[in-house]
Amino acid sequence: MGEEEVKGGPVIPESVLKKRKRSEEWALAKKQELEATKKKNGENRKLIFCRAKQYAKEYEEQQKELIRLKREAKLKGGFYVDPEAKLFTFIHMLIFLNSSINAMHPKTRKILQLLRLRQVTPKILFLKMHVEDRPGL
């Protein structure tokens, strides 16, 4: 009952036939998934390329604007001052007595190492600077 005869050939068990059918279905599904992934990657690649072009164009425009402002200031007899940084840097950490960088959480320690801060210091923090936050220099 569980076997099927092939015309003039050997008898193939039903379990083998089921396995063949299942593997064919899996192969088809894998092929479709691969095609979908390739299509998606192609679209992403185009999008990334367009963004890179746009960023390059924006950077070039900024450079041209900077040159224009410097030339304009020179013609007026003055000089151009570059814009200030737009990021304040502060770090505020809770420091316990006798604590060291080795007694910290590994992620915190790694961040401090990446910032080249080898010792625990009391206050450092990153904040975006707004126009009203700038110190009156």
What mean pLDDT do residues 48-54 have? 96
- In this predicted structure, the answer to whether residue 18 has a pLDDT above a threshold of 70 is yes
Q: How confident is the model at residue 137 (pLDDT cuts 50, 70, 90)?
A: very low
For 88-104, write each residue's pLDDT tens digit: 666 655 555 456 667 77
Q: Is there a single domain that holds both residue 64 and residue 114?
A: no
Q: Assess whether 105 and 74 both reside in one domain.
A: no
Residue 120 has pLDDT above 80, yes or no: no
Residue 2, in any domain of the structure: no
Domain that holds residue 102: 87-128
> How many other CB atoms are found less than 10 A from the CB of residue 11?
9
The answer to whether residue 28 is domain-embedded is yes
pLDDT band at 43 (very low <50, low <70, confident <90, very high): very high
Mean pLDDT of 71-77: 93
Overall domain count for the chain: 2
CB contact at 8 A, 39 and 49 = no
